[in-house]
Structure 1
Amino acid sequence: MKREELIQKWLDHALTPQELEAFKQLDDYEELTKMNNALQYFKAPEVDVEAAYNTVKTTAKNTSKPTSWFKPLLRIAAILVIGLGTYMYATLPTLTTFETVAANKKLVELPDTSAVTLNAVSSLSFDEDSWKEKREVTLDGEAYFKVEKGNTFSVLTDDGIVTVLGTQFNVKQRDNLFEVFCYEGAVQVSHNNTTLVLKPGERYLILNGKEFRNEKENLKEPSWIRNESSFKSLPLQEVIQEFERQYNVTVDAKNVDTSMIFTGSFTHTDMDMALQSITLPSQLKYQKKQNSIILKRD
């Protein structure tokens, strides 16, 4: 895939695990990610383009020698734009970002010694300079948090905000799924107009826009920390996508019903065993083909 296509798919958050690996090999990968993080905080001023154009056009018509003043004005405008851009770039927060690829996990220590474990194909970013005033991270993917006590700690995702003071919890934000599970302490979850508090063993799940509150479970930590993905009454499609992230493969499931409900788990350390754990309860068969898996009806 061409460099331009990789960058465009990256900006659209549409890279497959394999394409993400290729994108990370680009010579200007670091510069691209830094620029993207910085631009998240930039908002251009609102300008009425048509009104501005009409003003310039009218002024130009009423001036007998437009070039006598217009060229110096352009130079001044250029200097102002460059100066403003330099100032805004210098004052933008410098984000620290951690990312994982397929079949990979990463332990991250935050400035206050809080610990975050990132699951495969996930990213976490925060502003270290303002950490003492505002403990805030942005998450894309899945992560398990062990937060030290202190002022408010917030996890920002595209689907909602998770707020705590000091606790242990897991946040998963993938496509049409947003899930928060509290293991210790208390967790406040804000989604659209809904705000609720989770106690240990409680889960909040949004799947395809629908909210679910499962019964309380006595769990000490998420299973993926122990190299095992567990699912409870979730569509097979969610299981397949997690399998792809953990084994860095592509699964062809066009000939099976991926909306069927799955309850079970699969290991991250043995692909054949994992495939059997998925296909046997679902009455499916699988076939390996290079770096892909084809699922078929039994």
Structure 2
Amino acid sequence: MKREELIQKWLDHALTPEELEAFKQLDDYEELTKMQTALQYFKAPEVDVNSAYNTVTTTKKDTPKSTTWLMPLLKIAAILVIGFGTYFYATLPTLTTHETVVAHKTRIELPDTSEVMLNAVSSVSFDKDTWTDKREVNLNGEAYFKVAKGKTFSVLTDDGIVTVLGTEFNVKQRNHLFEVFCYEGSVKVTHNDKSVVLSPGESYGILNGKEFRYEKENLKEPTWIRNESSFKSLPLQEVIQEFERQYDVTVEAKNIDTSQIVTGSFTHTNIDTALQSITLPFNLKYQKKQHSIILKRD
């Protein structure tokens, strides 16, 4: 596949596992990821096109023919713009980014030997140049952390911040679901200026803006590490979305009440067994069609 096609699919978040590996081999892979980060800081100003056009045309009519004084001014302005742009880009964080595609997981070692296990369709980024002073990780998706002891370690998500010193915990941030489970040590979760401290076996979650807590459980690690997704009192829709991430398929569930609450699990290693785990409790049938699964009432 051509370089341009790989970059376009990367921008559209449509790379297959093989294409993602090919993309990472590009000579300018690091520059491309830095550029994507830099673009997040820019926002085009709102412009009234008609007003701007009228201003230009009016100015053009009223401006004297002699414009020799204007060229030096334009050159100075151009130099200032280029200089500011160069400085701005040079001072942006040099983020290191790791991401996974559907049906894939990966293990990452952070600069302080902390470990991150990244679930499917997830990404983490961090600034290794400032890591000694500030241990911060940006997370989109789901990850399991084993944090080395040291300074405060923070996981930043769109829904909340998880802060620890040295511990093991799992963070899931998917669409309308934010969930944190502490396996070792203690974890502080901050959401909308409210903080909750979790001990081993305790969890905290937010679903569609509503907080929820599970009973304390004695678990050593999240089940997805062992290729099994588990759910407790969550809507069927959440289960379906996780199934799609693990098997790279699209699930059609027309005329199915996906708000029904699910407690259970499914394997990542056998699609038929996984589908039976999901459909049998609800007396549903399924039909496989190329890269899609159709759920039907029994």
What TM-score, normalized by structure 1, do the two folds share?
0.86
Q: Provide the C-alpha distance between the structure 2 equivalents of 1:265 and 1:74, rounded to a whole number of angstroms.
A: 65
Structure 2 equivalent of residue 78 of structure 1: 78
1:223 corresponds to which letter in structure 2? T
1:94 corresponds to which letter in structure 2? T
Q: Which runs of 5+ in 2 are unaligned?
A: none
Structure 2 equivalent of residue 257 of structure 1: 257
Correspondences of 1:22-41 after superposition (within 5 Å): 24=20, 30=29, 31-40=31-40
SS in 1 for 2:16: helix
Structure 2 equivalent of residue 128 of structure 1: 128
Shift in alpha-carbon separation, 1:29–1:254, aligned structure 2, 3 A: farther
Q: Provide the C-alpha distance between the structure 2 equivalents of 1:101 and 1:249, rounded to a whole number of angstroms.
A: 12
Shift in alpha-carbon separation, 1:187–1:294, aligned structure 2, 3 A: same
SS in 1 for 2:148: coil
Structure 1 equivalent of residue 16 of structure 2: 21
Q: CA deviation at 1:267?
A: 0.4
8 A contact 2:184–2:200 mirrored in 1? yes
8 A contact 1:60–1:66 mirrored in 2? no
Q: Provide the C-alpha distance between the structure 1 equivalents of 2:39 and 2:76, rounded to a whole number of angstroms.
A: 25
8 A contact 1:284–1:295 mirrored in 2? yes
Structure 2 equivalent of residue 94 of structure 1: 94
8 A contact 2:184–2:199 mirrored in 1? yes
Q: CA deviation at 1:87?
A: 1.7
Q: Which moved more, 1:208-217 or 1:113-122?
A: 208-217
1:171-206 Cα distance to aligned partner (Å, 9 max, x none): 000000000000011101111121111111111110
Shift in alpha-carbon separation, 1:182–1:57, aligned structure 2, 3 A: same
Q: Provide the C-alpha distance between the structure 2 equivalents of 1:241 and 1:59, rounded to a whole number of angstroms.
A: 56
SS in 2 for 1:280: helix
Percent of aligned positions that are identical = 71
Shift in alpha-carbon separation, 1:110–1:72, aligned structure 2, 3 A: same
1:257 corresponds to which letter in structure 2? D
8 A contact 2:9–2:15 mirrored in 1? no
SS in 2 for 1:281: helix
Q: CA deviation at 1:56?
A: 9.9
**Cα-Cα RMSD:** 2.9
Q: Which runs of 5+ in 1 are unaligned?
A: none
Q: Determine whether 1:184 maps to 2:212.
A: no
SS in 1 for 2:155: strand
Shift in alpha-carbon separation, 1:263–1:29, aligned structure 2, 3 A: farther
8 A contact 2:178–2:206 mirrored in 1? yes
Q: CA deviation at 1:79?
A: 1.2
Shift in alpha-carbon separation, 1:63–1:247, aligned structure 2, 3 A: closer
Runs of 4+ in 1 over 2 A off after TM superposition: 6-11, 19-34, 42-50, 53-66
Q: Provide the C-alpha distance between the structure 2 equivalents of 1:249 and 1:34, rounded to a whole number of angstroms.
A: 31
Q: CA deviation at 1:20?
A: 3.9
Q: CA deviation at 1:33?
A: 2.9
Correspondences of 1:135-214 after superposition (within 5 Å): 135-214=135-214
Shift in alpha-carbon separation, 1:284–1:233, aligned structure 2, 3 A: same
Shift in alpha-carbon separation, 1:47–1:264, aligned structure 2, 3 A: closer
Q: Determine whether 1:239 maps to 2:234.
A: no
Q: Provide the C-alpha distance between the structure 2 equivalents of 1:63 and 1:251, rounded to a whole number of angstroms.
A: 63
Q: Provide the C-alpha distance between the structure 2 equivalents of 1:245 and 1:47, rounded to a whole number of angstroms.
A: 37
Q: Provide the C-alpha distance between the structure 2 equivalents of 1:185 and 1:246, rounded to a whole number of angstroms.
A: 29
2:250 corresponds to which letter in structure 1? T
SS in 2 for 1:112: coil
SS in 1 for 2:282: coil
